[in-house]
Structure 1
Amino acid sequence: MTETSVASQPRARGSGRGAVWLLALALVLLVVWGGWRWWSAQEQMRMADDRDLDQHLQALEARTARLRLDLRAQSQRLQQAEATNRVLRDELLGLGQRAAILEDDLAAVARPQRDAAQALRLDEVELLLAQGQQRLQLAGDQDGAHRAYALAAQLLAGLEHPDPGLLNLRQTLAQERAALDALGEDPRRTAAGRLEALAAALPALPVHAPAAGQPAASWWQRAFARLVEVRPSDGALALEPADRAAGLAALQLELTLSRVAIERRDEAGLREALDRVDAWLTRLWPDSAGLRERRAALAALREAPLSASLPSLGSTLEQLRRQRASPPRPAAAPGES
């Protein structure tokens, strides 16, 4: 091999390497340019999307602003309508009140029970009901209460143009009269009769207790019985004539106080007086079947009531006063139900 061929071989190798590097550089530049083009396209697309999004947001804000304006306008119209309705409602209420006042005035003029004669009749009914209630409460006069209630019922039934509200009053009066009829005898009269029967039965009680179970007296006791009487010192019976006379007088006084308490319908005073009567019974008479019977009757009389219990008493009077105090209600029109 000559020197010329040997020198051309390195030269060819160096040119080949340069071409390779140039080709690689061209490929790198091509890749970079392609990447830049892709990034630029993506950036343009992103910017286009942002512009579209901004346009959509602006459109939404514009629509929201328009909706707010519409809502504000609707609220103003609603407030105006509410104010108008309030004014109309107040006017209607005023008209209704005026109409009610006119109806009351017309009813006061037209109703026949507002005349003087019928008002006087109702005053008489009220007076009779009050008298009947006071007779029964204060004096226990059931007969007088019956008569007063009967006269009140006759007056109510004799009204020429009765108010429909008085029908309930007549029904209440009928119920109160029925309850009054069911009371029976006056408890005070019954208690007084029982006390008199008890007082009349007291003298029949034995003064000396029968000596049952005691041994027969010895000859010297029988001999000195007319001179000396031996009895236990702890006995509570009043056997001496002076003691018995004083005890009987005290017993009669307590019985009189019991009668007074019955007349006054004083149940507490009656119980206290009967307790003292019971104490004198055990002091004046010895224990016996008759005494126990009288004491049992005394205990029953102690718990007996002295006043009649009538829960409905005065209900008619109260209803009449409440009805007369309330304003009259106008009669309904023919077409109303």
Structure 2
Amino acid sequence: MTDAAPDPIQKTAAPHPRGHGVAWLLALALVFGGGWAGWRWWTAQEDARRVDADDTVQRLAALEARSDRLRGELRAQSQRLQQAEATNRVLRDELLGIGQRAAILEDNLAALADPRRSGAQALRLDEIELLLGQGQQRLRLAGDLDGARRAYALAAQQLAGVEDPDPGLVDLRQALAQERAALEALGDDPRRIAAGRLDALAAALTALPIRTPADAADAPSWWQRAFVRLVEVRRSDGALAVEPADRAAGLAALQLELTLAQAAIERRDEDGLRAALARADAWLTRLWPDSQALRTQRAALAELRRLPLSPDLPMLGSSLEQLRALRMRR
């Protein structure tokens, strides 16, 4: 009896899958390890770049702060340079002025060494005082502005010829120059202006209409003209002087008030001028009816009442007072 041949399928053992699983595990481990290593490298690079960026930002901020500080220092330096330049300019001008004043003092001392000039200088000072007094009185009493200017100009010429190192003369020359400038700045004499306006007003009053257009429209009828010698009807509220005798008396009173106003102008009496013009305004309303021409003349009269009669020169006489004080100190 022979044994049956073994089944090759049963005798052949199936391959075990363990070796393949280990290989796959190793591959996965390598893949995860590589990924983790790459992620670590990438995060390290990002951290390094972030650190570099923060460092750059800080450096830029530091540079900007330093540049701002440098700009502030440059501005401060430029301001100090400008102040130093202005100070140097002022010092240079002062030194130049001191040099000029020293030269003037040297010339005055050299001139003072001559004893023959002391009497002539005293005579010049007397003449200057006389001219200043005449100019002041011409302006205050007579209102002669041109004469006052000529007197002050002659006084300035005489003062320029006085050679004296006294510092008071320098101040006197400055005061005289200021007073002359104020005189030159004055316009016409206020008294002359007021007189001219009063004459123009008096001439314009003769052209005022005695009757208004409304009065002409209310002309009397034929029967009123016929019986005017017997009965005359007038408004009880009217204040106009209609009768020839009343108008003549009113015009004479108005002319008297205008004459008084002219006299007040000549005396530079502002209160008297205002009072005379106020009375003249009252006569205007009694002699002429209300019209545009009358209102214009009354407005001119009111403006004339506000005019000053004396020139406004507060420093008038300051040079004369300073000259007298200088001579009293000597």
Scaled to the shorter chain, the TM-score interval is 0.5 to 0.7
Query: SS of 1:204's equivalent?
Result: coil
Shift of 1:231: 1.9
Gaps of 5+ in 1: 1-108, 328-337
- The aligned counterpart of 2:322 is 319
Give the distance between the partners of 1:261 and 1:217, measured in 2 at CA: 44
Shift of 1:281: 0.4
When normalised by structure 2's length, the TM-score is: 0.61
Is 2:128 the partner of 1:130? no
Shift of 1:115: 2.0
Is 2:289 the partner of 1:286? yes
- The change in CA–CA distance for 1:169 and 1:226 in structure 2 (over 3 A counts) is same
Post-superposition Cα deviations, 1:135-188, rounded to whole Å, max 9, x if no partner, equal 111111111101110110000111244533312211111110010011110000
Gaps of 5+ in 2: 1-111
Work out the number of aligned pairs and report it.
Answer: 219
Spell out structure 1 runs of 4+ moving beyond 3 A.
Answer: 109-114, 160-164, 212-229
Is 2:244 the partner of 1:241? yes
Give the distance between the partners of 1:314 and 1:190, measured in 2 at CA: 24
Give the distance between the partners of 1:326 and 1:113, measured in 2 at CA: 22
Shift of 1:259: 0.5
| 1:238–1:284 contact (8 Å) kept in structure 2 | yes
Query: SS of 1:238's equivalent?
Result: coil
Give the distance between the partners of 1:198 and 1:229, measured in 2 at CA: 34
Give the distance between the partners of 1:110 and 1:149, measured in 2 at CA: 29
Post-superposition Cα deviations, 1:32-78, rounded to whole Å, max 9, x if no partner, equal xxxxxxxxxxxxxxxxxxxxxxxxxxxxxxxxxxxxxxxxxxxxxxx
1:113-262 to 2 correspondences below 5 Å: 115-161=118-164, 163-211=166-214, 220-221=223-224, 224=227, 229-262=232-265
| 1:112–1:161 contact (8 Å) kept in structure 2 | no
When normalised by structure 1's length, the TM-score is: 0.60
Give the distance between the partners of 1:232 and 1:221, measured in 2 at CA: 15
Post-superposition Cα deviations, 1:208-229, rounded to whole Å, max 9, x if no partner, equal 1221797787775576568754
- The change in CA–CA distance for 1:192 and 1:178 in structure 2 (over 3 A counts) is same
- The aligned counterpart of 1:5 is none
- The change in CA–CA distance for 1:245 and 1:219 in structure 2 (over 3 A counts) is closer
Query: SS of 1:205's equivalent?
Result: coil
Is 2:309 the partner of 1:298? no
Post-superposition Cα deviations, 1:81-119, rounded to whole Å, max 9, x if no partner, equal xxxxxxxxxxxxxxxxxxxxxxxxxxxx96859822211
Shift of 1:291: 0.5
- The change in CA–CA distance for 1:218 and 1:262 in structure 2 (over 3 A counts) is closer
Give the distance between the partners of 2:203 and 2:165, measured in 1 at CA: 56
- The aligned counterpart of 2:28 is none
| 1:244–1:284 contact (8 Å) kept in structure 2 | yes
Give the distance between the partners of 2:219 and 2:256, measured in 1 at CA: 40
Give the distance between the partners of 1:189 and 1:249, measured in 2 at CA: 25
Which one has the largest radius of gyration? 1
Q: CA RMSD in A?
A: 2.5
Give the distance between the partners of 1:130 and 1:190, measured in 2 at CA: 25
Greater mean alpha carbon deviation, residues 207-216 or residues 158-167: 207-216
- The change in CA–CA distance for 1:290 and 1:147 in structure 2 (over 3 A counts) is same
| 1:133–1:314 contact (8 Å) kept in structure 2 | yes
Aligned residue identity for 1:253: L
Give the distance between the partners of 1:323 and 1:154, measured in 2 at CA: 18
Give the distance between the partners of 2:186 and 2:218, measured in 1 at CA: 57
Aligned residue identity for 2:152: Y
Post-superposition Cα deviations, 1:260-313, rounded to whole Å, max 9, x if no partner, equal 000000001111100110011011000000000000000010110000010111
Give the distance between the partners of 1:247 and 1:304, measured in 2 at CA: 26
Aligned residue identity for 2:275: E
Query: SS of 1:324's equivalent?
Result: helix
RCO greater where, 1 or 2, for CA within 8 Å and sep 6 or more? 1
Query: SS of 1:211's equivalent?
Result: helix
- The change in CA–CA distance for 1:222 and 1:238 in structure 2 (over 3 A counts) is closer
